Structure 1
Amino acid sequence: MISVAKVQRRNAWRYYVRGVAFGDGRRPARQPLKDAQEQAGLPPGLWMGRGLAALGLTAGSVVTQRQMVLLFGQGRHPDADRIERELLDDGADPETARLATVLGQPIEEIEKRNQIPLLALDFTFRPQASLIVLWALGDEKTRRVIERAHERAIATVLRWLEDEVAETRWSSGRKRAKAPALVVAAFPHFDNRDGFPLLHDNCLILNRVQRPEGSWYALDTVRLYQHVVAAGTLYTLTMTTEVCEKLGLATVPREVTPGLRPVMEIAGVDHELIDWSSTRRQRIEDALEGITDQYVKDHGRLPGERGRHGLGWWAAQDTRPKKKTPRPLEQLRAWWRASAILRFGQQMVDGLLERCRAAGKAIRERVGPLVDTALAAVDVAAIVYTVRNTFARRHVLAEARRHLLETLRGREFTRGLDDYIADKALAHHSRQLTVPQPGRRIPSPDQITYTADFAWPHRWWIGGTDGKPPRESSRYERARVASLAVQKAIRDARTAPAVRDGSPTATASTTMHTGDHDQAATEPHAVDHPDRDAALTPAQRAAAVHAHQQAAMPELLEGRTTDPATWMRTPKNLARFAAFTREADARRRAFADRPQPEEPADQASPASQQQHQHPRPAQGRGAAPR
């Protein structure tokens, strides 16, 4: 996943120079960064990105303290001291020499307008908790494989940002251009503030890019923020796939929060080990409960989804411990291993990789490298529409990457398949809302808004556990139901019995989707079993896809969560829902049997009432698959 923070003028840059560059610890006062890193055994920061050549830097070179102060603290060239000294020797006045080293608009001019200059964005990359546990407790080979996959996934995301997302803007945003050359300073870290394993990299992306004529302008940071989720799914998909392929592993869904999207973790990693490494989660949950109670007292209602995210951020800040003294990775790994053995025993720790490989082998035997692009496009479009109602291409692309990770379970896939599924979902299962206006700039593909015409799923209730009351279904759970309903309609259309002359029956579902499937079967991105000798019939292919998805994600196909206690059809939950239904029916009958008031004489006729009746929310959306 990826989290983003701002690096602004005031004192934000000092936090990165003094702490983040020093293993996310507290560097002694007046001690140079290089000496502190060498004494603590910490790796230095490295430069990345295609924009380094314009600054005279090379990829992979070490980030020095002076370069950070000049670039991320003052917005000047990282070699500004030398440039300014040469200009002074040539007879330039001090102010002119200093302005010659400024990249873009000077910070002083921005502050005169009572604005806070944004110098960089901190993109923090970190893998799933199970990969962190495997990296911390595995052998040296496993550690190196995970670290290399982590580094390559970061490089892949940065290249994608440069190629597809990064833009520069000027004239108050009225003019913009592509910016395929970013300047990035990456700082690796190995633990959290409690000293437990947390592999992550802080990548500072400079908020300055160079145009072809040589001038420097600010990045369109709004676009970067908008594509954070898509970038995070690309990082997770790339890293998880490489680790699983090289170590013979597979992924399984793990429900972290009931009702929300499951996290694809490495199969075989015990939940106890994940909880052991996630030391702050319980403290955050305890603090969040108190903050939520106060929110209810102040506002008289429960917080919404956006409010829950904000309260979670406050809970994380309130429980954030102070910085510790960083230690080298060898000492940390020895301490982690001793701590895990003391708590869980040596057998669980030493057999971690073998259990993961055994679980991965079992999953790979029943989950083949098969991706039906037609069903994938339907699944992606239905989920994004149900969750967001209106969406852009970046939302569909992020969901397509999640679909690949959930379906393939860590297997390798054809590069570009995520873009292909996203484009297919937009072309065949979405409806464009943005209309280009004459005389105005044509919107870019990422600025176009879409919607869809799927049937809106009804809400339902899910039985609670541990004495908690039943909860309402979340948007993601309703999205899964909507997606599965549409996929079932497509399978029914594919497997419909043929009429006497051999042609398929003419149903609405067949008309809508059969052509898409036939086209997807011949597309180069459609992945099939390599040992299949001949092409399958539509009925055989639909059965194979259904069997594959049942093996890959049985929890979601059955409409269940990963926690058996929350399944709907347990006897206890069925009895509770039956009681709720009886009470609701009794109230409905009591309301219906009460005496009705007499209608006034001048009341409008039923026909006129029907003419003036307002349309319901489900009306006007077009035909929906059944």
Structure 2
Amino acid sequence: MAGLPPGRWRGRGLAGLGLSEGAEVSERHMALVFGQGRHPNADRIEQRLLDDGADSAAARRATVLGQPIEEIEARNQTPLLALDFTFRPQVSLTVLWAPGDAHTRRVIERAHERAVAQALRWLEDDVAETRWASGRGRARTPALVVAAFRHFDNRDGFPLLHEHCLILNRVQHRGGDGEPRWGALGTTRLYQNVVAAGTLYSLAMTTEVCEELGLATVPREVTPGLRPVMEIAGVDAELIAWSSTRRQRIEDALEGLTYTWVQEHGRLPGEKARHGLGWQAAQDTRPEKKTPRPLEQLLAWWRASAVLKFGRQVVDGLLDRCRTVGAALRARVDPVVDTAFAAVDVAAVVFTVRRNFARRHVLAEARRHLLETLRGRAFAPGLDDDIANRALADHARQTTVPQPGRRVPAADQIFYTADFTEPDPWFIAGTGGRPPRESSRYERARVASLAVRNAIRTARTATPQPRRHRPPRTPSNTPAGTSPSHRRSGRPPSTPTNRLRCPTYTWEAGRQTRRRGCAHRRTWPGSPPTPARPTPAAAPSRTDRPRPPTRAVRSTSAARSTNSSTGSPARTKARASSRDSPPGGTGGEANGPDAGTRPVAQCRDHRGPAGYG
């Protein structure tokens, strides 16, 4: 098409067609391959066969790739000859590319081309497969035939760098006789992995551009409640709006569609309904394509438009401003990714959004997480796969059960679920004249992952509390075990490493839980040796055990009633002092003959010198 660069052939499957990587796609190639399902050099092959004496039908059939289109249409089916995978960078990268200098444009275009190639290689290696016999036969085929076409503008003529990759729905595989045969692709698997391929492209391109130009990314909320888009830091929202000309028209149309939906249903649309209304608004406001213009003319017009709206100083200093902001952000970003936290976030988001998910969903979210966490910094190859594998291993459980006698499902066809606690939905007040909305599944997923992250962080940082130095306590004539504050002060520390456990009770986070059947007692570190317990036959009965003097009990009750009636803070202060004290009483409390030592911690049924009451 005039004004656009010619298409280029890509993919490992070009060898079976006699084509080379990067060769130009002619109009005749497009008509034969994607219009008739025939060899790109069908005219030459057919003419050679006719010269050798073959009839016209046999000569034509020899140029067909796979099943002829005529046979498919004879069964009242629509033939599918290609799939269009479109790759495009974030708007901020397009804004840097359009009015930028030649070096900036070369860096962005080279990163775009490499990212597209990496996404196509991933589709070939991990996704592509061929099928025959109505899907009963399947085989991996890491060789696709792709025709790539690069476009530079949107339907309004503003900058939008993107690439259309037409993937031919034909691929070679080895037949029963060992000879190569053309068959159809497993298009369902390609459709299922389109999001994972797109996230791989965005991650690869953004990382290369940021590393090459010294930039960083920041999250930008495009649709309230949905995942933010990682844009280049330093590109203002006004510049993004200048390039995204259709955004305002879509929002205006969406407001009218939402109002009509509320009038019909009597309630606000949910998340799924909002997605449908957004798609309808985009289709209703989609203009017709215009005649493409050469890139040199577009670059001059884009620069003039940007300078007229924002000024020459803003346009010329855009890259320097982005580098300054990016350097500050990159200095604060830790280049090491904590895979444990990353796996929690990825699993929580995928589970809350989808409930049942496959590995492709986890892998796509892992790539989004790397782009959001590293802010454009480089990472080790294969880190996205490591995070996805850990999320499935640590936080997911398989729900797909292989059936005996049936084909074992592929790895990306196995589904999982998780056991995260999802918070209840809440409503969020609207801003800018928008109506209130219910919290999205993505927002609830972030809250669910935060709880698990905090638990992991607490487990990592939990260490034994150092023992406080206390002055020696003054002996007293008060018998040990008769003071209620003495018993209260015997609480063990509530840190996980210093829990006091017993078959009858346990202390955890400052709370006592009773359990039956105690047969032993535990002591605190530094306590005196525990006297030998009597044998069960010689142990006194519960009614024969010594009890505290009656006078002490009455004085305790009186002290409580006096404090409660007068509102004195004495009891409150005693409690605070006892919590800060080691077992056995406060620093100034009398402890009888055991003063200055840590008494034995015992169960409720084993009252003694330091019995818990």
User: For the superposition of Structure 1 and Structure 2, which TM-score range results when normalised by the shorter chain?
Assistant: 0.7 to 0.9
Q: Which residue of 2 aligns with 1:265?
A: 231
For 2:135 and 2:227, the matched residues in 1 are separated by 36
Q: Secondary structure at the match of 1:260?
A: coil
1:200 paired to 2:192: no
Which amino acid in the other structure matches residue 50 of structure 1? Answer: R
1:185 paired to 2:147: yes
Range with bigger deviation, 281-290 or 146-155: 281-290
- Say if 1:433 and 1:499 are closer, same or farther in 2 by CA, change over 3 A: farther
Deviation at 1:369, TM superposition (A): 0.5
**Could you tell me whether the CA contact under 8 Å between 2:173 and 2:183 is conserved in 1?**
yes
Deviation at 1:506, TM superposition (A): 8.8
1:159 paired to 2:121: yes
The structure 2 residue matched to 1:64, chosen from 21, 26, 35, is 26
**Could you tell me whether the CA contact under 8 Å between 2:464 and 2:498 is conserved in 1?**
no
Name stretches of at least 5 consecutive residues in structure 2 with no aligned partner: 468-494, 500-613
- Say if 1:75 and 1:305 are closer, same or farther in 2 by CA, change over 3 A: farther
The structure 2 residue matched to 1:387, chosen from 353, 366, 379, is 353
**Could you tell me whether the CA contact under 8 Å between 2:14 and 2:144 is conserved in 1?**
yes
For 1:429 and 1:347, the matched residues in 2 are separated by 51
Which amino acid in the other structure matches residue 90 of structure 1? Answer: D
What is the root-mean-square deviation of aligned Cα atoms in Å?
Answer: 1.8
Q: Which ranges of 4 or more aligned residues in structure 1 deviate by more than 6 Å?
A: none
Q: Secondary structure at the match of 1:406?
A: helix
Pairing 1:14-33 to 2, within 5 Å after superposition: 22=1
Q: For 1:115-136, what per-residue CA distance to the aligned partner results, in whole angstroms no more than 9, with x for missing partners?
A: 1000000111100000000011
Deviation at 1:499, TM superposition (A): 7.3
Pairing 1:281-430 to 2, within 5 Å after superposition: 281-298=247-264, 302-430=268-396
TM-score, length of structure 2 as denominator length: 0.74
Q: Which residue of 2 aligns with 1:489?
A: 455
Q: Secondary structure at the match of 1:118?
A: coil
**Could you tell me whether the CA contact under 8 Å between 2:13 and 2:145 is conserved in 1?**
yes
For 2:360 and 2:373, the matched residues in 1 are separated by 20
Deviation at 1:280, TM superposition (A): 0.9
Pairing 1:420-499 to 2, within 5 Å after superposition: 420-498=386-464
- Say if 1:337 and 1:497 are closer, same or farther in 2 by CA, change over 3 A: same
Name stretches of at least 5 consecutive residues in structure 1 with no aligned partner: 1-21, 23-36, 508-626
The structure number with the bigger radius of gyration is 2
Q: For 1:57-89, what per-residue CA distance to the aligned partner results, in whole angstroms no more than 9, with x for missing partners?
A: 000110000010000000001100011111111
**Could you tell me whether the CA contact under 8 Å between 2:92 and 2:231 is conserved in 1?**
yes
Q: How many residues were matched structurally?
A: 468
Q: Secondary structure at the match of 1:187?
A: strand
- Say if 1:303 and 1:469 are closer, same or farther in 2 by CA, change over 3 A: closer
Range with bigger deviation, 388-397 or 450-459: 450-459
The structure 2 residue matched to 1:134, chosen from 96, 114, 132, is 96
- Say if 1:174 and 1:75 are closer, same or farther in 2 by CA, change over 3 A: same
For 1:311 and 1:107, the matched residues in 2 are separated by 36
For 2:139 and 2:182, the matched residues in 1 are separated by 12
For 2:126 and 2:498, the matched residues in 1 are separated by 42
For 1:289 and 1:176, the matched residues in 2 are separated by 47
For 2:251 and 2:37, the matched residues in 1 are separated by 39
For 2:433 and 2:49, the matched residues in 1 are separated by 74
1:79 paired to 2:41: yes
**Could you tell me whether the CA contact under 8 Å between 2:211 and 2:376 is conserved in 1?**
yes
Q: For 1:417-458, what per-residue CA distance to the aligned partner results, in whole angstroms no more than 9, with x for missing partners?
A: 000010011011111111111111111111111011111212
Pairing 1:597-616 to 2, within 5 Å after superposition: none
For 1:186 and 1:287, the matched residues in 2 are separated by 33
Q: Which residue of 2 aligns with 1:111?
A: 73
Does 1 or 2 have the higher relative contact order (CA < 8 Å, sep 6+)?
A: 1
Q: Which residue of 1 aligns with 2:200?
A: 234
Deviation at 1:109, TM superposition (A): 0.8
For 1:286 and 1:104, the matched residues in 2 are separated by 47
**Could you tell me whether the CA contact under 8 Å between 2:268 and 2:437 is conserved in 1?**
no
Q: Which residue of 1 aligns with 2:548?
A: none
Deviation at 1:466, TM superposition (A): 2.4
For 1:314 and 1:429, the matched residues in 2 are separated by 37
For 1:447 and 1:386, the matched residues in 2 are separated by 19
Deviation at 1:469, TM superposition (A): 4.0
Which amino acid in the other structure matches residue 463 of structure 2? Answer: P
The structure 2 residue matched to 1:101, chosen from 60, 63, 73, is 63
TM-score, length of structure 1 as denominator length: 0.73
For 2:435 and 2:254, the matched residues in 1 are separated by 19
1:220 paired to 2:186: yes
Deviation at 1:94, TM superposition (A): 0.8
Q: Secondary structure at the match of 1:105?
A: coil
Deviation at 1:375, TM superposition (A): 1.0
